[in-house]
Amino acid sequence: MLTILLTNLLLVGLVVVIHYEFLRRLAWRLPVTLLRHRARIVIGVFWVLLAHVIEVWVFALAYFVMHRAEGWGELSGNFDGSLLACAYFSFTTFSTLGFGDIEPSGAIRYLTGIESLTGLVLITWSASFLFIEMQKHWNSR
């Protein structure tokens, strides 16, 4: 049980650090670019999307390893065990979309729950960051 908890905390910590670093670099670089405000926001959106994709793939790699390792549980249903299938599962879990075509069982279930919560927080953080960046250049009426 302790191994499961520590592994989940490590994965969450890793993706939060990744997200923080992406937003920190974006906050530092956006104001110094010579592009118009609209272009900066579009670049910001793509930069944030890239951060989320990397974070999803971190979880996907964890699912891939856990599914193949003994004692972590498994993913079943419309699942072939490939890394791409793990990425698909991770995308639907991170975004809390959850189609339900892949079902976790065993200890791996705890990672799916924490990934959903983490995805929700990080997506909200991204939305707040982009809203603040947009608001800096809106004219007050």
Over 12-61, what HEC string results? HHHHHHHHHHHHHHHHHHHHHCCCCHHHHHHHHHHHHHHHHHHHHHHHHH
C-alpha to C-alpha distance for 47 and 16, rounded to whole angstroms: 15
Can you read off the two tokens belonging to residue 52?
A: 């989320």
pTM, two decimals, is 0.92
Cβ proximity of 43 and 29 under 8 Å: no
For 81, other C-beta atoms within 10 Å of its C-beta total 12
C-alpha to C-alpha distance for 43 and 45, rounded to whole angstroms: 5
pLDDT of residue 109: 95
For the chain, the average pLDDT equals: 93
- CA dihedral (74, 77, 81, 85) in degrees, to 10, reads -120
Q: Which residue has the higher pLDDT, 125 or 33?
A: 125
Model confidence at 140: pLDDT above 60? no
Within 8 A by CB and 6+ apart from 108, the residues are 63, 66, 67, 72, 73, 74, 75
For 57-78, how does the pLDDT look when each residue is reduced to its tens digit (9 = 90+)? 999 999 999 999 999 999 999 9
Its sign, for the CA torsion 80, 57, 132, 26, is negative
C-alpha to C-alpha distance for 77 and 97, rounded to whole angstroms: 17
Mean pLDDT value of segment 85-112: 96
pLDDT more than 90, % of the chain:
83
Grade residue 1 by pLDDT with cuts at 50, 70 and 90.
Answer: confident
Grade residue 30 by pLDDT with cuts at 50, 70 and 90.
Answer: confident
